[in-house]
Amino acid sequence: MKLMLVRHGQTNGSDRYYGRTDNDLNTVGREQAEGLRRRLAGEKISAIYTSTLKRAITTAETIAAGLGLEITRCSELDEVDFGNLEGMTYEEICRQYPTVAASWTDWSAQLEFPGGESASLFGQRVVRFLERLKSHNDDETILVVGHGGPLRLLLCRLLGLGIKHCNQFTFGLASISVVNRYSQGAILSQLSDVCHLGQGNPQRG
C-alpha cells in the first residue's frame, strides 16, 4: 500500500501553534493547495482521508477536485489540542510553561498540555486511524491530509519507531511524504517534498 501524507497549506499566524483552533487557509495556503492539486492530478489515488479541521479540509477538497474523488473526514487526524498554549509562539511557551516546553522537546510520556490533550491520549487517538486502512487492498494508493503532529506520529508508528522520535521528522506546509507499506514493514521513500511550491515554506500554522 502506498500512503501519501500531505500537510495542509498555510494559515494566518504560521509562527504560532494552533491545534484545535479551526482557522482556514489564507491566500498563500490556497495557492499551495492548488499546487498540490496540479502535482497529484496524475496519481491513481483510491481514497482521501482528512482531518475535520478547516485548513485540512480545504486542502483535501482542492486536491480531490482534480481527482474526482470524495473526501472522508476523520477526527483521529485532528491536530493535538494545545489547550492554554493555543495561539502562542514557542518563545512564549518557553517563558510561561517551561516544564511543558522541556517535556515537549523529548515528547515525554508525561507531556500534557494544560487545558488540552496529553501526549498519551493524542497518540492513541491518531494511531486508531490505521484501522481504517484495513478496508483497502495492498495495491491501493491512499492520500492522508492532516497536520504536523498527527503525521509525525503516524510516520513513527508505520516505521516501527518509538513516539520519542516524532520530533525528528518535519512536514513542511503543503508538503508530500510517501510511505510504502508492506506485510514485513514500511519504507519511507519521500519526506516533506515541496517541489510543487514556488515559495518559502513556514513550518507552523
Model pTM? Answer: 0.92
Tell me, rounded to whole angstroms, the distance of Cα 16 from its chain centroid.
16
To the query of whether residue 76 is one of the catalytic residues in this protein, the response is no
Looking only at the bridges linking them, the beta strands covering 176-182 and 2-7 are antiparallel
| Residue 115 included in any domain | yes
| Residue 195 included in any domain | no
Q: Which three cell numbers stand for residue 175?
A: 508538503
To the query of whether residue 8 is one of the catalytic residues in this protein, the response is yes
What pLDDT sits at residue 181? 95
* Catalytic residue selected from 8, 76, 117, 147: 8
163-201 pLDDT, tens per residue?
888 888 999 999 999 999 998 899 999 999 999 997 544
Nearest to 47 by CA among 30, 59, 34, 63: 63
| Residue 88 included in any domain | yes
| Residue 109 included in any domain | yes
The residue range of the domain holding 99 is: 2-179
**How many domains, the chain?**
1
| Residue 33 included in any domain | yes
Question: At residue 87, does pLDDT exceed 60?
Answer: yes
* Catalytic residue selected from 76, 79, 117, 147: 79
| Residue 189 included in any domain | no
Quick one: pLDDT band at residue 109, thresholds 50, 70, 90? confident
Q: Which long-range contacts (CB under 8 A, 24 or more apart) does 90-99 make?
A: 90/17, 93/17
